[in-house]
Amino acid sequence: MDKETIEKYRKAGKIAAEALNYAASLVKPGVAVAEVCDKTDAKIKELGGECAFPTQVSMNDVAAHFLPEDESVKFSDQVVSIDVGAHVDGFIGDNAMTIDLSGKHADLVKASREALDNAIKIIKPGVRLREIGKVIHDAITKYGFSPVRNLSGHGLGEYNIHTKPNVPNYDNGDATELKEGDIVAIEPFASAGAGKIYESSNPTIFQLAEPKPVRNMITRQVIKEIAEYGILPFSKRWLIKKFGLAKTNFALREMTVLGMIREYPPLIDEAHGLVSQAENTVLVTKDGCEVLTKI
């Protein structure tokens, strides 16, 4: 990887980290979840980046991919996971953290955070993915919780949020070794429930998968707007703010029928246990790693 590319990853990581901390400062009882997401997306642009994906604020038994389409959902006493991604010319920084508004689940928050910190300590060229998974698993189970086994960390590529390698949250036997120059997001999830998630319904996050010609003018206008986001995920809320709910629903429905978009529905713990998340993006270096999403 050339120096210019690495610097873009560094800049994206710094922006993502600053935006995540900003988002955390906004999370208070009575505040609308969508308001925090909107302000965080705007902060990313203010800092000189673009959104790698819509800011997501998942709560309680929802592990990921939650973003309300309106301001009716508000914070109260939930366990809140904030996932923020920024990119600079397509090079991505991805990070997440969990806040316990109830004050009752400090160990759950600690479990995913400690798992992340312990995993980062062992990252270097030659470390096997299964070894990272074991460290994550051991840290989470020490607190009496389960790692979410069907979610994982991931590589980050140019305009690509999830590339190889998949970084497991348990020892899955994968002997693939990290190498110098790899960019990976380490992403432990700790569950007080089943440690396994399922895809729910009513997605509000999408990605343009296969553009196709359409005749309807409304759908064509929406597709033109989506094209501005490139090939990265976008939120239904972004479209509603420009086109209104009825036109947005019509266009998304037609695009779904035509197989044009990929849906990212909320991911929910199978036993509806509370879930915490922690994430950092790292660059594997000659002797270890550099945390890119660190202020």
The string of pLDDT tens digits covering residues 103-162 is: 999 999 999 999 999 999 999 999 999 999 999 999 999 999 999 999 999 999 999 999
Chain-centroid distance of CA 240 in Å reads 22
131 catalytic residue (yes or no): no
From 50, 100, 269, 279, the catalytic residue: 279
46 catalytic residue (yes or no): no
Q: How far apart are CA 42 and CA 60, in angstroms?
A: 25
83 catalytic residue (yes or no): yes
Would you state the structure tokens that stand for residue 157, as one six-digit string?
């590529």
Across-strand partners of 81? Answer: 58, 98
Render pLDDT for 66-109 as a digit per residue (tens, 0 to 9): 999 999 999 999 999 999 999 999 999 999 999 999 999 999 99
From 46, 89, 162, 199, the catalytic residue: 162
154 catalytic residue (yes or no): yes
69 catalytic residue (yes or no): no
Q: How far apart are CA 42 and CA 2, in angstroms?
A: 30
162 catalytic residue (yes or no): yes
pTM confidence score: 0.95
- Cis preceding linkage at 265, omega within 30: no
